[in-house]
Structure 1
Amino acid sequence: MALTQMQIIQSLGEAMNWFERELQWGVKPTELPHLCGRIGELYAAMITNGQMATSVNQHGYDVVSAQGERISVKTTAKMKHTAYVSFNPRTLSQVDRVIVLRVNTEEMQIEILLDAVIEKAMSMMGPEAKGQRLLPLRPFLNILKPRRAQETVNIVPYHGYTIRELESGTIAIERDGQSISPVKPILRSLALSLNLSLVNSNGNPLNTRQLGSQVIQSVKAIIERVPVAPQPVTPGSTFPI
């Protein structure tokens, strides 16, 4: 039975919530390959306005787009540049398009590493070995780093750090002009120094964006409460009316 686009979006949200809950319980993201794969397939179906394949690994593809493209979807939660995804060379002839996704567990968002026609994707894979062709992720992870310049919507200085909230909701932290990553350990430390809770009303740990927003708003409130010292008046000075 085909899912509606609304059902796909709802299922994706539920899968992401469950994935985040497992991480909060201490499960490593690499120990959740089935859930990670499900998230990727739902996301690919959503962005292509398509449908899930009717059978698991049906002829090597996972999603059929609105244009009828057979899409092989690979999803990883690995952050290291030595990571790779593998393909079965015997079923690549049944694929029209390849989408490779990463679930960024730092910001709990899905990143598109590759979206290409099968011919281009195959040109990036290594030769067949042990019944697989490997696609290294290093080139795509390198591209992710210099993201498009985003507007800063909130910025505060605190304890030697500069904390920014970007227009996408991403939290960035700098110290002495150098970007710091990952940011969540710093945010947790700053939150504790501000006597802020690290969990939400349901007792679940705040994610990076929620924690960063909370820290920024708390620091802004402190800054606004600090009175500005009056400036000395020089004899003969004039003031605009």
Structure 2
Amino acid sequence: MALTQMQQLQSLGEALAWLERELNWGVEAKALPHLCGRIGELYACVLTNGQMALQANQRGYDVVSAAGERVSVKTTTRSLPCQIPFNANTLSEVDRVVVVRINTEDMQVEQVYDELSSVARTAMAGREGGKLMLTVRGLASPPGEAKPLAVAREAFHNGSKVVELENGTIQVWSSGQLVEPTKPALREMAKGLGITLTNGSGNEYNTRTLGSHVLDALYERGDHVLPMAAPGPSTSFIG
């Protein structure tokens, strides 16, 4: 039976929650290929307003889009750029190639590649064993088309600003500059605020959870209301 889009979203949320639980138990993402693959396929279904292929392990593709495209979905947890393998013998069965990356630090799903299979095939290099390798560097954003993300919460601490965007991403700004990586700065803030860095099971919080706890503490202190001269912009742009 085909899933409704609401059911797909619910399944996606539940699969991500289960993945986060496994990661907190110390299991590495690479040891959970089926779960990660399921997350990628559900995300692609939502992305294309499509449905899972009718048969499990359907030859060459995983999702059928609303437009009837046969979509091959690959999921990775590696940092970009990275190489993604494809079966040269089944690529002719595919109309569209989508690569999804699971950011296990922030527990966020990212679409990093989306092309017609004919375009993707020209970018693939051959490899022994009937495999084709596609180098994925991330989706390019056309100039002037960056999507503004609204700020859900922001607060200030020792001259820095902690921002939570509407998609849950946590940022730290200092002297008008984005601090990267984010987590070490959050750890220092958490220590100063007396916030534990781990959950009840002793597993370290990811960036989003730690940032949320830091913001909760700063809101309790009233540090979300400061003079207009506070560092960093009040809105951010993500390509």
TM-score band, normalised by the shorter chain? 0.7 to 0.9
Residue by residue over 1:56-105, the C-alpha shift from the partner in whole angstroms, topping out at 9 and shown as x without a partner, is 33121011122221110001111243x21110111111001111100111
Matched residue SS, 2:36: helix
Note the 1:179-190 alignment, pairs <5 A: 179-190=178-189
Which residue is equivalent to 1:235?
none
Matched residue SS, 2:186: helix
Note the 1:141-156 alignment, pairs <5 A: 148-156=147-155
Larger radius of gyration: 1
Note the 1:1-241 alignment, pairs <5 A: 1-81=1-81, 83-138=82-137, 140=138, 148-198=147-197, 206-223=205-222
Q: Aligned in 2, Cα 1:124/1:165: closer, same or farther, shift over 3 Å?
A: same
Unpaired segments of 5 or more residues in structure 1? 229-241
Unpaired segments of 5 or more residues in structure 2? 228-239
Alpha-carbon distance in structure 1 between the residues aligned to 2:48 and 2:211: 32
Matched residue SS, 1:127: strand
Higher fraction of strand: 2
* Contact preservation (8 Å) 1:73, 1:100: yes
* Contact preservation (8 Å) 1:106, 1:184: no
Q: Aligned in 2, Cα 1:93/1:194: closer, same or farther, shift over 3 Å?
A: same
Deviation at 1:177, TM superposition (A): 4.5
Deviation at 1:24, TM superposition (A): 0.6
Higher fraction of helix: 1
Deviation at 1:31, TM superposition (A): 2.1
TM-score with structure 1 length normalisation? 0.78
TM-score with structure 2 length normalisation? 0.79
Q: Aligned in 2, Cα 1:49/1:107: closer, same or farther, shift over 3 Å?
A: same
Alpha-carbon distance in structure 1 between the residues aligned to 2:222 and 2:5: 45
Amino acid at match of 1:20: E
Q: Aligned in 2, Cα 1:225/1:60: closer, same or farther, shift over 3 Å?
A: closer
Q: How many residues align?
A: 223
